[in-house]
Amino acid sequence: MNLLLDTHIFLWALSDPNRLSRKAVAAIESRSNSVFISAVSSMEIAIKAGLGKLEAPMDLEDEIALRGFSHLPICYRHGTPLREMPMHHQDPFDRMLIAQAILEDLTIVTHDKKFEKYPVKLLWG
Q: Which domains does the chain have, with CATH numbers?
A: 2-124 (3.40.50.1010)
Nearest to 69 by CA among 117, 37, 115, 31: 37
Can you tell me the mean pLDDT for 97-106? 97
Read off the pLDDT of residues 37-82 as tens digits, 9 standing for 90 and up: 999 999 999 999 999 999 888 889 999 999 999 999 999 999 999 8
In the chain, at which residue ranges do the beta strands (DSSP E only) sit? 2-5, 34-38, 70-72, 107-110, 121-124
Q: pLDDT-derived band of residue 25, with 50, 70 and 90 as boundaries?
A: very high
- pLDDT of 14 higher than 90: yes
Distance, in Å, from the CA atom of 6 to the CA atom of 84, rounded to the nearest integer, reads: 21
Report, as an integer, the average pLDDT of 74-103.
93
pLDDT score of 89 more than 90: no
Q: For residue 32, what pLDDT is reported? A: 97
Beta bridge partners of 122: 108
Beta bridge partners of 30: none
CA dihedral for 33, 85, 73, 60, sign (positive or negative): negative
Q: Mean pLDDT over residues 104-108, rounded?
A: 98
Longest dimension (CA), the chain: 37
